[in-house]
Copies of this chain bind each other. A is one copy, B any other.
Amino acid sequence: MPDKVLIYSRFPKAQLQRFGERYELLNAAGRRPDEAFSAEELADIRALITAGGSGRLGAEAMDMMPKLGAIICYGTGYDGIDLAAAATRNIAVGNSPGANAASVADIAVTLMLAAVRRLPVADNYVRSGDWAGAKPSPMMRPQAGMRGRKVGVYGMGEIGRKIAARVAAFETEVGYFSRSRHDVPYRYFSSLEALADWCSILMVAVRAGPDNTNAVNADILRRLGTDGFVVNISRGSVIDEAALVAALSDQTIAGAGLDVYATEPHAPDTLTALPNVVLTPHIGGHTLESHVAMQDCVLANLDAFFAGKPLPYQVRLA
């Protein structure tokens, strides 16, 4: 009889298929486990799969499954998990480190280029017939492009490194700020303020946590200048969203590209109404190859756990 695994968050069916071939899945699909299943059913659960970033998972939910020994995050993020609560309950937490780094770095550069070259406006200018009609469009005036730009990367983990390597190919200068200096060929800045003074494009790639909530605030945005852009593929919490909307509306900065938002899946109307932003629905890691890589990590973690071995991709308390 296959081991039982609870699916905590809501996942598209296709993403669960490989797990279902090896385990019996109890799919709560985003509901409270105790609303989706009986206490008897939950009593058997020793492992669960969750979207580490978006689904909140605290002590209360953990205590609904007294035998719970492993929380396996599908993806890199685990900021939705109460790690301290898991540790006191002897629950191992696993994730899929780096599995989606290339895809996320790609969407970061996609958003950067699309914002700088005003791609949604340009695409609409062609489709609407305004180009054929020679209709004047102030938004279509030439802007500064990439060559010679100073691009700052905030966070130098696996995703930050991949962003930096991609951005450097566009004949730019790349600098970065992170808690510590890394062995990378980019200029290091010891504070986010100093990085923002130096660069005109800020790529937010830092792992989100309580220490960097709203780190990109009105002051940081102002330092980027009127030709400045912000791209965020990390978490919405890192940017003060109200300050960003204000800076975009009064042209304190030139534009932004966002894959993540303060309260997903809701992007505020004040943001979606702006022409100088490019918005994607948290799809950074959503390529076929990164899903396969993430599923590989989830299965390796599950298989190890049920075999009584340590998780190969285990999240450690910092």
Contact = CB atoms under 8 A, between A and B. Distances in A.
B102 A110 contact: no
A87 to B, nearest CB: 33
A119 B279 CA distance: 8
A58 interface: no
Contact of A126 (B106, B166, B171, B267): B267
Q: Specify how many copies of this chain sit in the oligomer.
A: 2
B265 A103 contact: no
B110 A142 contact: no
A217 to B, nearest CB: 23
A170 interface: yes
Given A113-B109, A281-B122, A281-B131, A287 B169 contact: no
A132 B170 contact: no
Nearest to A292: B142
Nearest to A131: B281
Interface in A265-310: 265-267, 272, 278-281, 283, 286-291
22 contacts: A102-B146, A103-B147, A106-B147, A107-B117, A109-B170, A110-B119, A117-B287, A119-B280, A122-B283, A123-B279, A127-B267, A131-B281, A132-B266, A132-B267, A140-B283, A142-B286, A142-B288, A142-B290, A145-B287, A145-B289, A148-B289, A165-B169
Contacts of A107: 117
A208 interface: no
Interface in A56-71: none
Nearest to A166: B169
A84 to B, nearest CB: 31
Interface in A108-133: 109-110, 113-114, 117, 119-120, 122-123, 125-127, 129, 131-132
Interface in A132-158: 132, 134, 140-148
Contacts of A144: 287-289
A91 interface: no
Nearest to A274: B127
Interface in A232-254: none
A241 to B, nearest CB: 14
Contact of A122 (B126, B141, B171, B280): B280
A145 B283 contact: no
A167 to B, nearest CB: 8
A218 interface: no
